[in-house]
Structure 1
Amino acid sequence: MSEESGQIQAAVEDFAEHARLVLGRSENTVRAYQSDLALLTGVIDHFADFTLENLRLWLADAVAQGKARSTLARRTASVRAFSTWAYHQGYIEADVAARLVTPKINRPLPTVVRPETAETMVSGEATEEERASGPESLRDRAMLELLYATGMRVGELTGLEVGDLDFGRNLAKVTGKGNKQRVVPFGAPAERAVKAWLDGGRPELAEEGEVALFVGSRGKRIDPRQVRRVVERAAQRAGAADVTPHSMRHSAATHLLEGGADLRVVQELLGHSSLQTTQIYTHVSAQRLKKVYDQAHPRA
């Protein structure tokens, strides 16, 4: 095997295509892989030096630079994925990075809005400026209703097409991470809001031939950043701070659990591949339960 300089760098491009086309990783994940591995190739540029010891030294150097645990965890995940691919491709004789330990990340509990705040956000009175926007106001209401009704990610919302909604059964076909599809239900308020947008708003905005459910002012598929701005405005109107589309997702999951939904049902709704990911919401619910107990019980 040639040990020419840049050997790993060339292989990274092939790995990125494999991650994108075969593994179905999102563009954000592929870019993270490429960014992390570009840093690696600045230190290890051919497979003869791709050893567990050198990989540990590379990560130790990141620690010395004061990099966050989340950064270290992401770099570890990137090099482990690359190592597995390189082993199967025959570039290395063993999957050396498989023995790297991923640093544990102390994740903060997700932001959750109260049910009454969420209600105000999705169905509260629009401002005069918002009402004047006409079709955009109908679109924004529909997006907020769907986000809270389904707990879908903002990228999943913007990826919806008109044909993905089944109003006969009130189901939406959602394409999640890794192009995995799932079907999620939505209630009557979301149904009314989306139908109002389809009947009275979208025809005015959508460019001819556009299949996206939600479009921007130019008639093309709406950008996730614009959805975030819509959520932020709705939160301000409801007197809430630091609310994002992901907060709506967290809130939907938490409110379902507090209402008695089974954890595996919430897992399916959110599109989590692991039940462990969904279990974060049980901590949120328990935290809120403790707060209510402390306020209400005479011997708390």
Structure 2
Amino acid sequence: MGESKKMVARSDKNVSPSGASSSVSMAQLHTLIDDFCEHLDLVVGRSSATIRGYRSDLYSMSEAIRGIDNFTLPYLRQWMGVAVEEGKSRATLARRTASAKAFSSWAQKNGYLKTDAAARLVSPKINRDLPKILGEQQASEFVENAASASAEEFLRDSAILELLYATGIRVAELCGIDLLDIDHGRRMIRVLGKGDKERVVPFGEAAHMALKSWMEVRNEMAQNTNALFVGVRGQRINARQVRRIVDKAAKVTGVEHLSPHSLRHTAATHLLDGGADLRQVQELLGHSSMQTTQIYTHVSNKRLLEAFNKAHPRA
């Protein structure tokens, strides 16, 4: 943070300055928001997507409260109330609440605000929809039904589908894999997750064989890149291309509304169904919070209940 920013943010005008103009107060608030986002990037290590979300929410807030001197609980509640009237989703409301709370706590700890004004701002509860999950047989059929334009692309697409299901990694993580990230002997893969957090994930025999087949023809498609998977122009594959590969295989298999993230959900649920520990699944998926992983226990419990109701004579 530059000295000029510190002087503006820490000036006495920052906290309810008597006679301060609205434009000055707005400028101070925008400066603080930018400094907070810089803190998230350089100190906390949040992902660029998360930081963009925080910045968008906080700039929306600044337009509503019109300055740092109005950063109070009543003004924040009014801002949230308008969002409710506009029909914003519960997820959006929860994200806005989290953004305001994080900013408020940071500003108070650093002396920019006298009190943590947003500490009592209530986040609405979100009714989480259970993710779409493939059955084990359905998943096997899906990963074996890549719909590709050429033999080389078929081997690439099959390896992508197998790896997504085998590891539960995110699409962005898959796209970022380099050749040196694969340990074929130990069947381990190094991926870079959210917040630039690195983890090592194992994969099984099916994915190993699919990767081996892809590597035999990769150089026929790749053009001066270390990327494991490449697109039609020979450069690193992107998320949009991966989604198309998944979508095409889903149509061939007869599965509707399946996304790459559904394969992540499916991998996690099948691991839990097979007896994996929740903490192990959390580590495999790269979740920073156990709460995020726990949604899969609800999925597993639902599948168990369905099986019980279908099979037990006294259900």
Q: Which residue identity lines up with residue 155 of structure 1 in the other structure? A: A
Aligned partner of 1:261 in structure 2 is 276
Aligned partner of 1:105 in structure 2 is 126
Displacement after TM superposition at 1:207 (Å): 2.0
Q: Deviations over 1:158-188 (max 9, x none)?
A: 1211111111111111211111111110001
Question: What is the aligned counterpart of 1:272 among 273, 284, 287?
Answer: 287
Contact 1:26 1:177 in 2 (8 A): yes
Q: Partners in 2 of 1:97 and 1:243 — Cα distance? A: 38
Q: In terms of Rg, which structure is larger?
A: 2
Residue 215 of structure 2 is aligned to residue 198 of structure 1: yes
Matches within 5 A, 1:149-188: 149-188=166-205
Q: Which residue identity lines up with residue 53 of structure 1 in the other structure? A: P
Aligned partner of 1:226 in structure 2 is 241
Matched-pair identity in %: 55
Q: Partners in 2 of 1:45 and 1:91 — Cα distance? A: 17
Question: What is the aligned counterpart of 1:23 among 44, 49, 52?
Answer: 44
Q: Which residue identity lines up with residue 58 of structure 2 in the other structure? A: L
Q: Partners in 2 of 1:30 and 1:207 — Cα distance? A: 33
Q: Partners in 1 of 2:65 and 2:32 — Cα distance? A: 13
In the superposition, relative to structure 1, how do residues 205 and 283 fare at CA in structure 2: closer, same or farther (>3 Å)? same
Aligned partner of 1:41 in structure 2 is 62
Residue 188 of structure 2 is aligned to residue 207 of structure 1: no
Q: Which moved more, 1:35-44 or 1:242-251?
A: 35-44
Aligned partner of 2:80 in structure 1 is 59
Displacement after TM superposition at 1:69 (Å): 0.9
Displacement after TM superposition at 1:216 (Å): 1.2
Residue 283 of structure 2 is aligned to residue 250 of structure 1: no
Q: Which residue identity lines up with residue 147 of structure 1 in the other structure? A: L
Q: Partners in 2 of 1:133 and 1:157 — Cα distance? A: 21
Displacement after TM superposition at 1:6 (Å): 2.2
Q: Deviations over 1:22-43 (max 9, x none)?
A: 2221222111112111211112
Displacement after TM superposition at 1:89 (Å): 3.4
Q: Partners in 1 of 2:243 and 2:93 — Cα distance? A: 28
Q: Which residue identity lines up with residue 219 of structure 2 in the other structure? A: P
Q: Which moved more, 1:59-68 or 1:240-249?
A: 59-68
Aligned partner of 2:3 in structure 1 is none
Unmatched tracts of structure 1, length 5 or more: none
Q: Which moved more, 1:92-101 or 1:240-249?
A: 92-101
Contact 1:6 1:45 in 2 (8 A): no
- The normalised TM-score by structure 2 is 0.89
Q: Partners in 2 of 1:45 and 1:108 — Cα distance? A: 36
Displacement after TM superposition at 1:298 (Å): 1.6
Displacement after TM superposition at 1:119 (Å): 0.5
Q: Deviations over 1:23-71 (max 9, x none)?
A: 2212221111121112111122322211122111111221122221111
Matches within 5 A, 1:64-79: 64-79=85-100
SS in 1 for 2:65: coil
Contact 1:231 1:243 in 2 (8 A): yes
Q: Partners in 1 of 2:43 and 2:173 — Cα distance? A: 20
Q: Which residue identity lines up with residue 214 of structure 1 in the other structure? A: F
Residue 152 of structure 2 is aligned to residue 135 of structure 1: yes
Q: Partners in 2 of 1:37 and 1:164 — Cα distance? A: 37
Residue 137 of structure 2 is aligned to residue 122 of structure 1: no
Q: Partners in 1 of 2:170 and 2:106 — Cα distance? A: 29
Q: Deviations over 1:133-170 (max 9, x none)?
A: 23222211111111000011111111211111111111
Q: Which moved more, 1:164-173 or 1:58-67?
A: 58-67
RMSD over equivalenced CA pairs, Å: 1.6
Q: Partners in 1 of 2:73 and 2:42 — Cα distance? A: 28
Aligned partner of 2:9 in structure 1 is none
- The normalised TM-score by structure 1 is 0.93
Q: Partners in 1 of 2:40 and 2:178 — Cα distance? A: 25
Displacement after TM superposition at 1:205 (Å): 2.1
